Amino acid sequence: MATYRDAKCRLCRREGEKLFLKGNRCFTDKCAVDRRGYPPGERGRDRRIKETNYGTQLREKQKARRTYGVLEAQFRKYFRWAERAKGVTGLALLQLLETRLDNVVFRLGFAPNRRTARQLVTHRHFTVNGRIVNVPSFRVKPGDTIRVREHSRKIPSIRESMENRRGDTLSWLSVERESFSGRLVSLPGREEIPVPIQEQLIVELYSK
């Protein structure tokens, strides 16, 4: 599968806002958006682009893809699932993205960002309901328990992330730091998903 290997900060600069792809670095004065708050490229500072409705919708879709680290084909698949789900399509799409195992690991504070969470999952450092899962896109369901494996609890990135975690745990998750475990309590409502994404624009883009 294709993988984005260029500088992650270029993605934030292209979207014009922080996507928090590098964890705690995004909160420091080293953040590229704070230092160079214009699109990347030789003419990025002076570029003038007339924004159209389609362009606005496309940028919102790209922002969502880059935030969650999902490629286009996979993102389209999530949208098709969301269309068939009951309720609001935009919310269903965000719930599908939020309940990916790599995202849940990140939200629980076991990794500083989604990219590191994806790597840790792939390297078999987590179990779901006692079973080893190494698929980042694995869908976590309400009631599932995610646990760091015993021999993985000394990994620096996991311990540092837990020690340096910013903010409180989201209401739809519960964490037991002493046992290195967490649980998905319920599916999140829109107000419980802290991402600056206008999902209705994505629905309009794919509905054309």
Q: Domain spanning 100-186: which superfamily?
A: RNA-binding S4 domain (3.10.290.10)
Domain 8-97 has CATH 1.10.1050.10: yes
> Positive or negative CA dihedral for 62, 139, 113, 93?
positive
Return the amino acid letter for 166. R
Residue 27 scores a pLDDT above 60 = no
Q: Do 121 and 149 contact (CB within 8 A), yes or no?
A: no
Q: What is the pLDDT of residues 139-161, one digit of tens each?
A: 999 999 999 999 999 999 999 99
- Which residue ranges make up each domain of the chain? 8-97, 100-186
Instruction: Let me know if the fold of 8-97 is the same as that of 100-186.
Output: no
Residue 1 scores a pLDDT above 80 = no
**Contacts (Cβ under 8 Å, ≥6 apart) of 80:** none
Q: How far apart are CA 158 and CA 173, in angstroms?
A: 18
